[in-house]
Amino acid sequence: MCFTKKVEKVKRTVGRIQDVSKRLFFAGAITGVSFLTVVAGCSSTANNNVDNELEKLRNSLNEVSKDYILFGHQDDLAYGVGWKAVRGNSDVKSSAGDYPALFGWELGNLGDAENLDGVPFDSIAGYIKTAHAMGGISTVSWHARYPVTNFDSWNLTDIDMQSILPGGENHALFIEKLDLLAAFFLELKDENGNPIPFIFRPWHEMYGNWFWWGRSKCTDQQFIDLFRFTIDYLKNQKNITHFLTAFSPDNGFDSEETYLERYPGDDYVDILGLDDYGDFRRGRLDLIVIKLGIVSDLAKKKNKIAAFTETGSDRIAIKNWYTSNLLQVLKANEKTRNIAWVMVWRNRDLDHFYVPPANHAEQEDFKLFCDDKMILLLDEYQKLKK
Ligand code: BMA
């Protein structure tokens, strides 16, 4: 069934699921056992194969991180500067000769036919399958609409986080969004029908004030509840287990303690990330090195994977940004070298891009960056796996 049809099916069944969810939650509240704990038992039958594939992905990232850093690009196969939906196209490939090893995708506006950047959800599922077939890794972010008003992620009007959490009067509307998410994730299967392992990076940049799940719109505890409920619901209620979860703060922290203020807990997180554009813009490479160091140290202590989950210089406004900024930061020390991947944001057009398209003045610098022994594109990553 194509994803759009599946969405319709989800919408039809959502009322029934909400009822079950409410009953379970309230039953749990009465007995003192969270309903998520109750349904957790159901997932013990989780397919071993799924677990194996997920462990392979985790191990692969751990192995890579010892000596290399994978290069990733948002929406790489979907469009680039001057093209859209051309099979096989990629701005990273046209510029540096190979596809990225990691591909970022975005699920904002789930429930519509297209995501918030105009990419059909059916196509996104297809790109994730293609990326997997090529041996690449997909990471998925979700600029979710606020479930009550359906305003976009950046709209901070009328946010009442408590109302969408378990027990809140709008919780059912949140469940409706999670069901759409679950339906999409269930579509992610390879040609043999096996679930494709991927990285889910929800509720990112939670220390900023630009998203409805940011600092100004919810308490740390409410954020943690939101994050935990999302993961618990997918895993325990929907039995979706073929993903690693990334915790992906923006640069608004300066110590392990402040990095962890909204951390949902070790049981909920596999990857510790950092999204940082601002420190590059301000020329504060020193701060990025410190922040990546904090992430890397914590990952080591907690036996997690560290990653530079989002970064870039829009329109490559900083000359030779790839070698004079990004590579310097990544090579700064043992800690920064220990991150598993770095991902830059999307190439919409010449007014908004992060990978220089072919023949752009920054192409040579980008190639130099990609040629560095530490940085892996797709082909090099495949060779390493063998
Ligand atoms: C932002 C910009 C927006 C886009 C959003 C979600 O950084 O690229 O144009 O809609 O990410 O992908």
Tens of pLDDT, residues 273-307: 999 999 999 999 999 999 999 999 999 999 999 99
Q: Ligand 1 centroid to 247 CA: how many Å?
A: 19
Confidence of residue 48 (pLDDT cuts 50, 70, 90): confident
Cα–ligand 1 centroid distance for 49 (angstroms): 35
pLDDT of residue 19: 39
What is the CATH architecture of 3-36+47-385? Answer: Alpha-Beta Barrel (3.20)
Maximum CA extent, the chain: 65
Report the atom number in ligand 1 closest to the C-alpha of 116: 10
Q: How far apart are the first and last CA of the chain?
A: 35
- Rounded to the nearest integer, the mean pLDDT of the chain is 91
Cα-to-centroid distance, 337 and ligand 1 (Å): 28
Q: Could you tell me if 372 and 67 are in contact, meaning their C-beta atoms sit under 8 angstroms apart?
A: no
Q: For residue 49, what pLDDT is reported? A: 85
Residue nearest to atom 9 of ligand 1 (CA): 117
- Does ligand 1 have an atom closer than 6 angstroms to the CB of 315? no
By DSSP bridging, strand 271-276 and strand 102-106 are unpaired
Cα–ligand 1 centroid distance for 106 (angstroms): 9
Q: Give domain limits for the chain.
A: 3-36+47-385
Instruction: Indicate if ligand 1 lies below 6 Å from the C-beta of 117.
Output: yes
- Ligand 1 contact, 116 CB (< 6 A): yes
- pLDDT tens for 214-248 read 999 999 999 999 999 999 999 999 999 999 999 99
Cβ pair 196, 188 in contact under 8 A: yes
Q: Is the CB of 106 under 6 A from ligand 1?
A: yes
Predicted TM-score (pTM) of this structure: 0.90
Handedness of CA 353, 358, 360, 361 (dihedral sign): positive
Residue of the CA atom closest to atom 8 of ligand 1: 346
Residue 233 tokens read as 């619901």
